[in-house]
Amino acid sequence: MSKRSPKETCCSFEQECCLESLVAVDGRGQMVLSKELRKKAGINPGDKFAVATWKKDGRVCCITLIKTDEFSGMVKNILGPLVQKLSTK
C-alpha cells in the first residue's frame, strides 16, 4: 500500500463510488462483509470505524464507514488550518 502525504485524504466526493456488495441485517442487528471485500478494503479484526450518515427528508438514507485512522487524518486536515489561522490572529 502506498503512503499518502499528510494533506491527502482517502476519499472525496469527486471520487468514483462503486456498489461493492449487498448485505443483510440479522435478528441481532449485525451485518457481515464478505472476505473478498474485507481483503480489498484492508479490514482486519479489531479495526474501528467512524459511522457517518446522510439524511434526506428527515430519514437516514446513506451510511458510510470510515476507518478511524483515515477519519483522524481528515479531521486534522480540516481543523489544522483553522487552528493555525486562529492562532495567528
**Could you state, in order of their start, the residue ranges of all structural domains in the chain?**
14-89
Higher-scoring residue by pLDDT: 31, 18:
31
Output the pTM of the full model.
Answer: 0.60
pLDDT tens for each residue of 74-87 = 777 777 777 777 77
Q: Looking at the structure, give the CATH architecture of the domain made up of residues 14-89.
A: Ribbon (2.10)
pLDDT value, residue 85: 75
**Are 70 and 9 in contact, with CB atoms under 8 Å apart?**
yes
Confidence of residue 12 (pLDDT cuts 50, 70, 90): low
Residue 28 DSSP SS3: coil
Which helix (H) or strand (E) element contains residue 65? strand 59-67
Q: Is residue 32 predicted with pLDDT exceeding 90?
A: yes
Confidence of residue 29 (pLDDT cuts 50, 70, 90): very high
Residue among 18, 73, 72 nearest 41 (CA): 18
Strand partners, 64: 52
Instruction: Determine the pLDDT at residue 4.
Output: 47
